[in-house]
Amino acid sequence: MNSYLLETVQIEEVEEAVFQLGALKAPGPDGLNGQFYQNYWEELKHEVFQLVRLFFETGTRDLPEKELVATVLWFVWKARNNSIFRAKQPDPNTIVDLAQAHLQNFNRWQKKKETAKPPNPNSPRRWIPPEKGQLKLNVDASWIHAEQVGSVAGILRDHTGQLIAGFAHQVRASSPLQLETLAILHGL
């Protein structure tokens, strides 16, 4: 009996466990229920299996942080939508790389936010902050008329000027006004 418990876990065992999850039961700590894993098992099985195997081999010390797991799952969902709606075939390595880069950028900005100096009251102001407790979204866009494409970007700051979030996307647009409107929509 004990030797059975010490055997290396197999992907078939993990798959069986996934499909025994209550599909519509309360979500786990990652915020996802069994139905998510069952519906996307073909796309997720190798990553899930690697995490389970790593857990049994090393315990929790070498597992990725929950934030990385959640970010990878978000990028898997996004890649799935691109596959369905835009016929773009997902690349698993790119998905993981993008998720890691996204999380690193997020963590870098969070650290800057925590260590940022308060604004100097003597420096000239160009940006007018929102009232305390409110946020301000500043957007901009750049348009290439001949190609009908452009880029939109925005930053969200609080009343102290601290960066809360930001974005930059390439979009199709037929006019600068449409592009500026898309920038606002992306910011919302």
Write out the residue range of the structural domain in which residue 134 sits: 122-187
Q: Report the Cα 175 to chain-centroid distance in Å.
A: 30
101 and 44 in a common domain: yes
pLDDT tens readout for residues 18-49:
888 887 777 666 667 778 788 888 888 888 88
Asked whether residue 77 falls in the same domain as residue 53, the answer is yes
> pTM here?
0.37
> Does residue 96 fall inside a structural domain?
yes
Q: 95 and 178, same structural domain?
A: no
Query: Do 14 and 107 lie in a common domain?
Result: yes
Percent of the chain with pLDDT strictly greater than 70: 82
**Domain ends where: 70, 95, 113?**
113
Q: Which of 91, 113, 135 corresponds to the end of one domain?
A: 113
pLDDT (0 to 100) of residue 104: 81
Q: Per the domain annotation, does 2 fall within a domain?
A: no
Torsion (CA) 16, 76, 65, 46 in degrees, nearest 10: 40
Quick one: pLDDT at residue 170?
85
Could you tell me if 132 and 104 lie in one domain? no
End position of a domain, from candidates 113, 142, 162: 113
Calculate what percentage of the chain has a pLDDT beyond 90.
1
**Is residue 93 domain-resident?**
yes
For residue 76 the two structure tokens come to 């898997």
Q: Where does the pLDDT of residue 91 fall: very low under 50, low under 70, confident under 90, or very high at 90 and above?
A: confident
User: Are residue 182 and residue 140 in the same domain, yes or no?
Assistant: yes
pLDDT at position 64, please?
A: 64
Same-domain pairing of 13 and 106: yes
Looking at the fold, whether 19 and 105 belong to one and the same domain comes out as yes
Query: What is the pLDDT averaged over residues 175-184?
Result: 86
Mean pLDDT of 7-23: 85
Q: Is the pLDDT of residue 136 over 70?
A: yes
Task: Work out whether the CA dihedral 150, 156, 159, 161 comes out positive or negative.
Answer: negative
Question: What whole-number distance in Å separates Cα of residue 88 and Cα of residue 169?
Answer: 17
